[in-house]
Chains A and B, each alone.
Chain A
Amino acid sequence: MKRSWGVWLVVAAFAVLLALLGRGLMLNPRELPSALVGKPAPIAQLQALPQLPNVQTAQRADLRTGAAPTATQLLGQVWMLNVWASWCVSCREEHGVLMDIARSAVVPLYGLAYKDKTDDALVWLRQRGNPYAASFDDATGRMGIELGVYGVPETFVIDRQGIVRHRSTGPLTQREWAEVIRPLVERLKRTQA
């Protein structure tokens, strides 16, 4: 009797180990936990960055790029930061979603051109439309490191206190905007009023 109890213990321990390893196999190693969520966004460093020069587009004549957001725009209101680059293929995929977000006027969307040539970034914005209320120019990628960016595109939601509330990696989808980000933004706007 005692002996079979020991055998079952070994079998149970093995099953637990197997379950753990099995779960490990199912996880997506590309989905990294974000270190920045719940922590202050590096707003001061962001404000120190140069801005892309003015861009006006046919689609969004009222949106321009060039004027740096003021401290009160980055602290005191909920906003979004989209990290992108003209050389980034999957940024094309999400561009339509970004335009929709800008059109919805639910939340100010700022852009961070990551390791991009200024001219290329401007051509992109002119040709495809400019969803950004302002565009920071991170030519060296230093700001990307501050944000823990490891691949573009990435999108952050920052609350009134300047705390990062959400980070999404990879191209934004209409669905993520509608089901995750928009409700979050609206909640943050309500609760922190």
Chain B
Amino acid sequence: MSTSDPQLEPQVKAVAEQLRCLVCQNQTIADSNSELAVDLRSQIREQLQQGRSEQQIADYMAQRYGDYVLYKPPVNAATALLWAGPFTLVVGGALAMTIAIRRRRPKPGSTSKEATATVTVPTGAGGADA
């Protein structure tokens, strides 16, 4: 019910965009037109007018609606896999790839010769045939 202050609106939108609408999931509170989202936006507006920081408002929402409302979930035991998973996969994949490539490649020292050989052998053979 707070009076809208055009200067504040971008900030209201910025906070609302980080919060998930609970009624129409997969929409942010900024996008949703559900009644709850409208109420929560006016709550954000009110708190900004009271001089509370964006972080404080996000915390306020998370305390009441759970971490679920945060589009950027905090790092804790429950979200460890979520945060670490992709990096683990990339590092693990890179490691596996390195090992696989190393193994496929012949012993160091003989590398260059053999590599040249494999390339030249077919050509040489073809030449011999002709």
Footprint of B on A, CB under 8 Å? 3, 6, 10, 13, 29-30, 32-36, 39, 115, 140-142, 144-148, 150-151
Contact = CB atoms under 8 A, between A and B. Distances in A.
A32 B68 contact: yes
Chain B interface residue bracket vs A: 20 to 34
Interface in B16-66: 22-23, 25, 35-36, 39-40, 43, 62-66
Interface of B: 1, 22-23, 25, 35-36, 39-40, 43, 62-68, 92, 96, 99-100, 103
Contacts of B103: 3
Given A32-B22, A150-B22, A150-B23, A145 B63 contact: no
A13 B56 CA distance: 39
Nearest to A146: B64
Given A29-B25, A32-B22, A140-B1, A147 B64 contact: yes
Given A140-B1, A150-B36, A151-B23, A32 B64 contact: no
B39 A141 contact: yes
A23 to B, nearest CB: 12
A145 B39 contact: yes
Nearest to A9: B96
A115 B35 contact: yes
Contacts of B63: 35, 39
Nearest to B1: A140
A148 B64 contact: yes
Q: Which 8 A-B pairs have the closest CB atoms?
A: A150-B22, A35-B66, A148-B64, A148-B65, A141-B39, A33-B66, A32-B68, A35-B65
Interface secondary structure of A, over-half rule: loop
A142 B67 CA distance: 20
A70 B69 CA distance: 34
Interface centre among A3, A10, A36, A141 (most CB of B within 10 A): A141
B66 A145 contact: no
A33 B68 contact: yes
B88 to A, nearest CB: 10
A143 to B, nearest CB: 11
Contacts of A142: 43
B66 A10 contact: no
A6 B68 contact: no
Contacts of B40: 145
A13 B95 CA distance: 15
A140 B96 CA distance: 58
A84 B96 CA distance: 57
Contacts of B62: 35
Contacts of A146: 64
Contacts of A141: 35-36, 39
A151 B63 CA distance: 17
A150 B96 contact: no
A37 to B, nearest CB: 10
